[in-house]
Structure 1
Amino acid sequence: MDDLQRIKILNNAKDFFRNEIVNSHLEGATKRASSLKSYKINPFLLAYLANFLEGTSTPESFAKALIYPRLLSTSITTTFGNKAQKMISELFEGMMGSVVQGIDIEFIDAHDGRKKYCQLKSGPNTINKDDVKTIIDHFQAVQNLARTNNLDLRVDDMMVGVLYGEKSELSSHYKKIDNHFPVVIGKEFWSRLTGKENFYFEISNVIGEVALEIDGTQKLQEIIALLSKEIEEVFPPNTFSS
């Protein structure tokens, strides 16, 4: 990959994050967060969390205790995870998804020059116990298909590619997969994909530049006000402190 290609991919990353992640978060996620019915409320904990956060039990403190975890963690993390494959295809224009079941992308590994069959995951804690068998079964099916068609396919030619994180952060579920097929994460994954050792940090930095464009303060205050009003109407008056 030459410098022109590198710059193009980094610019694509900025566009993707701005258009796909930020817009989805600002429009879809915030709209849903303003509605009380979108939450699964634990009545044993909500008042405690409201007081822990604000030192008081008011409709506004209740609203903040619900909204902050949703908008600052859960919703945007889910959005990013769901768009992992689309992110790679848009960054690397022309890289299509794989037609092989259970494989997200196929690419030539910059480290060894071999074709890789890769399932994409967003972060080091984004699979559960049941995913382990599913992923291993998919890779073994690829192996069987390769044998049937006399293809030169090695175990290391199938991998799970994790977009961010460190090897030491991988969950026990990923480690079980890594005992059979390689799990490549963060810096190493992006290096294999691009041939640039520090591309992982470069792409993190340009996405950080997009973050500097965003000020969601007013939007956040608007949805807190909307949810506070609904909470005040729905919850019994004695729920709140005087």
Structure 2
Amino acid sequence: MTENQRIQILRNSKTFFRNEIVNSHLEGATKRAGSLKSYNLNPFLLAYLANFLEGKSSPESFAKALIYPRLLGTSINTTFGNKAQKMISELFDGMMGSVVQGIDIEFVDTIDGRKKYCQLKAGPNTINKDDVKTVIDHFNTVKNLARTNNLDIRLTDMVVGVIYGQSSELSTHYRNINKEFPVIAGKEFWHRLTGQENFYFELTNAIGEVALEIDGTHILQETISTLAEEIRETFPPNAFS
């Protein structure tokens, strides 16, 4: 990878996070979170959670008990997962792309000097059982191509690159792939791709710089107030204390 490609990936990561993750979270998720009908309420737990959070049962504490897990956990993780494939394509933006079906990028591994045929995945738990066969089938296509064209492509040259996480966190599905083809995760993947041992942290820091641009406190408070008002109108007065 050239220095210009390295810089471009960092720029692309900021653009993607700003445009796709932040905007979706602020505009879409918060709007949905302010509507009571968007929740599957458990009436046996809501008052308990409200009191656990704030020591009281009020429309506002009810609202916070619903909103905080949604906006600070489930919602943003779902958004990131749904946009993972788009993130991958925008991060690389055509760089090192492959013409081989099922292969996302081709690059020269800076550790062993071998050309790698790589399928990219988002995180250590982002594939299911059916994906295992799909990945292996694509790599078998590369094997057949190498055999037909007398190319020096070894099994260890076909890899799955996992953008974030650690090898110890890889799911059973990844481990099943790793029995035949290497699965390289997080810091090691980015090191092999860029030649820089700490590029993984450069990437997370770049996205962290975008995070510093965001102050969602006013939107969060508006969402809580909107939901609290609907709760006040929906629940009987004796539900609060």
TM-score computed with the length of structure 1 as normaliser: 0.85
Gaps of 5+ in 2: none
- Deviation, 1:228, is 0.7
Aligned to 1:114: 115
Aligned to 2:87: 87
Identity rate, percent = 63
For residues 231 and 177 of structure 1, do their structure 2 counterparts lie closer, same or farther at Cα, with a shift above 3 Å needed?
farther
For residues 216 and 147 of structure 1, do their structure 2 counterparts lie closer, same or farther at Cα, with a shift above 3 Å needed?
closer
- Deviation, 1:189, is 1.5
**In structure 1, distance between residues paired with 2:80 and 2:98:** 17
Aligned to 2:131: 135
Q: Deviations over 1:125-159 (max 9, x none)?
A: 334xxx13x12211332244345542555433443
**In structure 1, distance between residues paired with 2:121 and 2:163:** 7
Residue 141 of structure 2 corresponds to residue 145 of structure 1: yes
Residue 217 of structure 2 corresponds to residue 217 of structure 1: yes
**In structure 2, distance between residues paired with 1:37 and 1:181:** 46
Q: Deviations over 1:177-218 (max 9, x none)?
A: 333332211111222332322110111111111111110000
**In structure 2, distance between residues paired with 1:235 and 1:126:** 39
Query: Contact 1:47/1:62 (CA < 8 Å) preserved in 2?
Result: yes
**Matched residue pairs, number?**
234
Query: Contact 2:60/2:225 (CA < 8 Å) preserved in 1?
Result: yes
Matched position secondary structure for 1:30: helix
- Deviation, 1:109, is 3.8
Matches within 5 A, 1:149-188: 149=145, 150=148, 152=151, 153-188=153-188
**In structure 2, distance between residues paired with 1:219 and 1:84:** 25
For residues 97 and 5 of structure 1, do their structure 2 counterparts lie closer, same or farther at Cα, with a shift above 3 Å needed?
closer
- Deviation, 1:58, is 1.1
RMSD: 2.3
- Deviation larger for 213-222 or 29-38: 29-38
TM-score computed with the length of structure 2 as normaliser: 0.86
Matches within 5 A, 1:49-88: 49-88=49-88
Query: Contact 1:139/1:158 (CA < 8 Å) preserved in 2?
Result: no
Letter in 2 for 1:207: I
Letter in 2 for 1:183: V
- Deviation, 1:98, is 7.0
- Deviation larger for 58-67 or 112-121: 112-121
Matched position secondary structure for 1:213: coil
- Deviation larger for 145-154 or 155-164: 145-154
Aligned to 1:20: 20
Aligned to 1:35: 35
Matched position secondary structure for 1:165: coil
- Deviation larger for 142-151 or 203-212: 142-151
- Deviation larger for 227-236 or 162-171: 162-171
- Deviation larger for 8-17 or 59-68: 8-17
Query: Contact 2:116/2:159 (CA < 8 Å) preserved in 1?
Result: no
Letter in 1 for 2:114: G
